[in-house]
Amino acid sequence: MAQLRRDHQLFKDHNVEIAVLGPEGPKEFQRFWEREKMPFTGLPDPEQIVLKRYRQEHRLLKLGRMPAQFIIDRQGIIRFAHYSSSMMDIPENREVLARVGKIKESKE
């Protein structure tokens, strides 16, 4: 999430909204969000409702939820999905923004 926070303005410049879901309960999640000064939307998902809907993996031996990133267009269609194999397997922001650009080009 640090890289998302760092480049948040870049995403805004590309008209991209960021939403992050976390496994914590609402109070714990809110404390984390405020402590880390996250500039984008964050939602707790302690019952793993969204995790299951988007088929995000949960591995006990690898610290819980595996990171997953999605680009969802305004019609609610998933245009890109990346399911990480580890906590370190997260696409760079420039890669995600390049995909956003290609999606925009394909719609024009």
Residue 106, both tokens: 């394909």
Provide block-wise average pLDDT over 10 residues at a time, the chain (108 residues): 90 92 90 93 89 72 72 90 82 92 80
**What does the domain layout of the chain look like in residue ranges?**
2-107
On whether the CB atoms of residues 22 and 36 are closer than 8 A, the answer is no
Look up tokens 């409702």; give the residue: 49
Superfamily (CATH) of domain 2-107: Glutaredoxin (3.40.30.10)
Q: How far apart are CA 45 and CA 22, in angstroms?
A: 6
Full-model pTM: 0.77
Q: How far is CA 52 from CA 12, 37, 76, in A?
A: 28, 27, 17
